[in-house]
């Protein structure tokens, strides 16, 4: 019997984590691993692009965890600039350029593609996405010119981070959001705090505004047309989110889940109505995950999940055993010195899942009130009405505020009640927290609300 062949589609977090884990368990004599990446980089941090653009970190080399040469040294054949264009499940082959490659195990880790409305497909320079290092490099090159105004479309995590980055570059920035608040994954009252902070930085925030088109002059973008007027723009950044990159999988007949992403079992094996698709695995932004509180399938494109899922797939391909249980929706970001975090369900999500719930919002400080550097933060909890089960938490504040979400994430993951949380033995010293940490104050107030 010859070597087992593993083909990886996608050379970023999920795909290369899977390849690395499989290689640790099976040597080159037992398993041949070939990875195809359509771009020029492998295992990089797309999340770092706004900080590269803003001048806070160097790039792109500093954003690359492992380059192709490193993988090749470890017995993983990596081919950048190679796009897989077809999958034949019956023949167990993939098509790359003008040749075919056979597989025993197929690791589908094609990631996600940016949402790009028809109005954005204009033949004009100066319009950018920020999903890949190539996108970041193109934007950096453009910003070396004489540009003064920028419009960022979409006020989710990437949008607000890019608005800050462009402002740090000295541009006059307008941030446009179709919904009524920035960061729609948090509750409106918390979103209002974020909106105030964005405007306080001198960024013009336009909410409830729909983009209708782009104006161009001399082959370059000159303005963004909205239902609330025309916004001059020397550069436009699209932060409209992403969708799972499953066109190739769909064309091959692989079953898609309810979210449009690939559905997998706990071991990252692709599954459908007819059961497991033998020898086909998927991980990362092209897959859907289960929310452990609502029980619903979701598409949550985050590098943290991609790395974990890829690791699980690689362990299983290599003959081990591992599972990925699901997610609880933890996310965190910053806008200058303003921090935002969430975990679990928002009020809207709790309502949609059918929970009866109460909410509690408290204001506290990151340190003892008398200690230098003490600044306010707002914490909001969502708890199940009858049981007190913690369903979700949100934090908006400044220094040392947002990482407190990890305490709430652990509590949500382990299905703690807010009453149980009031007795948590958290660390205390005046430079780090008030004697009653905001986590405990919020849990106590939620308990009172019950």
Residues tagged active-site:
47
Cis upstream peptide for 60 (omega within 30°): yes
Helix, strand, coil tally for the chain in percent (to 5): 30, 30, 40
Pairing assessment for the beta strands 84-88 and 76-80 based on DSSP bridges: unpaired
Residues 6+ away with beta carbon under 8 Å from 51:
57, 161, 165
Cα–Cα distances (Å) from 224 to 235, 239, 260, 401, in that order, read 10, 14, 30, 35
Q: Is 46 exposed, middle or buried (0-12, 13-18, 19+ CB in 10 A)?
A: buried
Nearest residue to 221 (alpha-carbon basis) of 240, 209, 210, 236: 236
258, 265 Cβ separation under 8 angstroms: no
Q: Is 386 exposed, middle or buried (0-12, 13-18, 19+ CB in 10 A)?
A: exposed
Cα–Cα distances (Å) from 55 to 145, 168, 352, 447, in that order, read 16, 8, 41, 44
| Distance from C-alpha of 144 to C-alpha of 428, rounded to nearest angstrom | 47
Map tokens 């550097």 to a residue.
373
């Amino acid at each position: 019997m010859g070597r087992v062949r593993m083909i990886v589609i996608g050379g970023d977090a999920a795909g290369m984590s899977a390849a690395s884990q499989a290689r640790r368990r099976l040597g080159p004599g037992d398993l041949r691993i070939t990875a195809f990446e359509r771009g020029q980089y492998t295992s990089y941090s797309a999340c770092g692009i706004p900080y590269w653009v803003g001048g806070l970190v160097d790039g792109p080399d500093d954003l690359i965890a492992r380059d192709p040469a490193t993988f090749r040294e470890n017995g993983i054949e990596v081919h950048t600039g190679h796009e897989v264009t077809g999958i034949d499940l019956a023949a167990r082959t993939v098509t790359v350029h003008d040749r075919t490659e056979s597989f025993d195990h197929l690791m589908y880790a094609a990631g996600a593609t940016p949402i790009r409305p028809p109005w954005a497909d204009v033949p004009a320079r100066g319009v950018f996405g920020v999903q890949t290092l190539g996108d970041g490099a193109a934007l950096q090159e453009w910003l070396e010119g004489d540009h003064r105004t920028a419009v960022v479309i979409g006020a989710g995590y990437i949008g607000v981070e890019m608005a800050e980055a462009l402002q740090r570059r000295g541009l006059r920035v307008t941030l446009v959001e179709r919904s009524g608040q920035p960061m729609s994954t948090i509750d409106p009252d918390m979103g209002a705090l974020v909106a105030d902070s964005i405007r306080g930085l001198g960024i013009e925030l336009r909410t409830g505004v729909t983009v209708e088109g782009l104006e161009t002059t001399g082959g370059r973008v000159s303005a963004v047309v909205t239902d609330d007027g025309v916004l001059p723009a020397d550069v436009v950044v699209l932060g409209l989110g992403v969708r799972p990159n499953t066109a190739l999988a769909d064309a091959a007949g692989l079953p898609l889940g309810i979210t449009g992403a690939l559905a997998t079992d706990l071991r990252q094996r692709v599954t459908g109505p007819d059961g497991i698709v033998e020898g086909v695995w998927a991980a990362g932004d092209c897959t859907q995950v289960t929310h452990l509180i609502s029980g619903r399938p979701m598409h949550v494109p985050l590098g943290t999940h991609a790395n974990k899922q890829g690791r699980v797939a690689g362990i299983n391909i290599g003959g081990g055993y591992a599972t990925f249980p699901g997610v609880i929706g933890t996310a965190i970001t910053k806008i200058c010195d303003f921090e935002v975090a969430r975990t679990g369900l928002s009020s809207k999500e709790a309502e949609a899942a059918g929970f009866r719930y109460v909410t509690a919002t408290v204001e506290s400080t990151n340190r003892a009130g008398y200690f230098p550097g003490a600044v306010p933060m707002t914490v909001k909890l969502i708890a199940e009405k009858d049981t007190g089960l913690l369903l979700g938490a949100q934090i908006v504040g400044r220094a040392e505020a947002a990482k407190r979400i990890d305490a709430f994430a652990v509590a949500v993951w382990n299905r703690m009640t807010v009453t149980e949380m009031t007795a948590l033995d958290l660390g205390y010293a005046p430079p780090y927290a008030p004697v009653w940490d905001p986590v405990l104050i919020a849990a106590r107030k939620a308990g009172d609300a019950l």
